């Protein structure tokens, strides 16, 4: 019987990472976000900005060059490379300590080439957060993920495509069996998102609200996750903290605002994270 853990504010008390006096930007990760084709540039902006605002030390966005000006004008802290330039992408993969791939990447042949290149070149010790279009590309092309630190962040339809389990049948026993087979951590997003560990515990996030049901919410989660993983002692703790923080910040906004706009969620993270520390 797999153990279920309810994750709320009390459960995470004392577990939030604090910045140390003798630290520098390199102490808080070099996050590489590979996201945003010419149609979905916003997904790349949201994911990379979320990583910056959640405390990632250095953040590079590999994206379609048509997004460069918009990225510079929204989050000047983000560094940029062309995701189709494999020489630049290869260099970025050598220095990255955490990689996000998929938000707004699209399903074009070029997107698939980028995904395959990253899966081939990524250092096996580097956590890889796989979201959005990257999940669909993996499902469509039946790509077997052997990366030891892969973390999937599907919404219910993406999970259906990846696992073959219809949304109406997405119950813990069936989900857990598929996670065991995938041998990767899966963050299954919905109301009270669940984190499944292969052959391990299942966590339920006791936070979140329907104001989050708006395009871009999941893109923001990837950046928050990357930054919290970068700052945490263990991969599994970083995943729990990041997933909870995303919904917890959203709940503060939803108290006074009818919809949780993803860019506003990002702006609130530094203050709320400081309060939690
Ligand atoms: N600003 C930007 O750049 C943005 C860019 N984005 C990027 O766009 C890419 C495509 O991602 P996507 O999620 O929009 O599309 P897709 O994967 O086809 O899913 C939609 C289909 O699934 C169904 N569905 C059923 N249950 C569901 C559930 N719980 N949650 C969600 N959907 C559910 C749903 O059913 P329907 O609504 O038709 O009833 C529909 O048929 C991806 O890379 C993403 O990162 C977005 O982040 C938006 C902001
Ligand atoms: N009704 C809801 N209640 C709580 N959380 C929700 C609800 N609807 C969506 N969310 C959250 O919003 C996010 C949506 O992710 P996703 O569908 O990938 O968005 P996008 O791809 O548009 O960025 C997830 O974190 C999910 O848990
Ligand atoms: Mg998404």
Q: What are phi and psi of 193, to 5 degrees?
A: -45, 145
Report whether pLDDT(2) > 90.
no
Distance 81 CA to ligand 3 centre (A): 22
Which residue's CA is the nearest one to ligand 2's atom 21? Answer: 218
| pLDDT tens digit sequence for 177-193 | 999 999 999 999 999 99
Q: Are 238 and 170 in contact (CB under 8 A)?
A: no
Is pLDDT above 70 for 1?
no
Strand ordering across the sheet containing 128-130: 4-7, 202-205, 194-196, 185-188, 150-152, 128-130, 98-101, 30-34, 58-63, 79-82
The domains located in the chain, with CATH, are: 4-276 (3.40.1190.20)
User: In a mutational test of the pocket of ligand 1, which residue from 215, 217, 225, 259 has the highest number of ligand atoms less than 8 Å from its CB?
Assistant: 215
Q: How many CB atoms lie within 10 A of CB 237?
A: 17
Q: 187: part of which helix (H) or strand (E)?
A: strand 185-188
What are the two backbone dihedrals, phi and then psi, of residue 140, each rounded to the nearest 5 degrees? -60, -40
Report the C-alpha gap between 264 and 252 in whole angstroms: 11
- Ligand 2 shell residues, CB under 6 Å: 132, 155, 189-191, 193, 208-210, 212-213, 215-219, 221
Atom of ligand 2 nearest to the CA of 189: 27
pTM of the full predicted structure? Answer: 0.98
Q: Which atom of ligand 1 is nearest to the CA of 102?
A: 43
Q: Is 42 in the pocket of ligand 1 (CB under 6 A)?
A: yes
The annotation status of 30 as a binding-site residue, yes or no, is no
Q: What is the pLDDT of residue 190?
A: 96
104 is known to lie in a ligand binding site: yes
Q: Give residues with Cβ within 8 angstroms of 252, minimum separation 6.
A: 268, 272
Mean pLDDT of 98-110: 98
Cα–Cα distance between 42 and 19 in angstroms, integer? Answer: 29
């Amino acid at each position: 019987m797999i153990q279920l853990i309810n994750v709320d504010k009390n459960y995470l008390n004392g577990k939030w990472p604090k910045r140390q006096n003798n630290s520098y930007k390199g102490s808080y990760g070099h996050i590489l976000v590979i996201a945003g084709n010419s149609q979905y540039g916003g997904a790349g902006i949201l994911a990379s900005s979320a990583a910056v605002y959640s405390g990632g030390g250095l953040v590079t966005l590999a994206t379609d060059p048509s997004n460069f000006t918009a990225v510079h004008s929204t989050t000047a802290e983000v560094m940029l490379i062309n995701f189709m330039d494999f020489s630049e992408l290869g260099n970025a993969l050598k220095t990255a300590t955490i990689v996000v791939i998929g938000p707004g990447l699209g399903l074009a042949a070029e997107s698939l080439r980028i995904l395959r290149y990253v899966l081939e070149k990524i250092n096996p010790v580097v956590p890889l957060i796989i979201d959005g279009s990257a999940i669909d590309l993996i499902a469509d092309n039946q790509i077997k993920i052997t990366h030891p630190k892969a973390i999937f962040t599907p919404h219910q339809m993406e999970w259906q495509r990846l696992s073959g389990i219809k949304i109406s049948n997405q119950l813990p026993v069936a989900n857990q069996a598929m996670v065991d087979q995938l041998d990767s951590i899966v963050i299954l997003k919905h109301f009270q998102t669940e984190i499944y560990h292969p052959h391990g515990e299942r966590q339920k996030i006791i936070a979140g609200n329907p104001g989050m049901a708006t395009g871009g919410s999941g893109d923001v989660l990837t950046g928050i996750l990357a930054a919290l993983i970068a700052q945490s002692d263990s991969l599994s703790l970083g995943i729990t903290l990041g997933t909870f923080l995303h919904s917890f910040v959203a709940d503060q906004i939803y108290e006074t605002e009818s919809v949780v706009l993803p860019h506003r969620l990002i702006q609130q993270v530094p203050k709320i994270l400081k309060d939690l520390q």
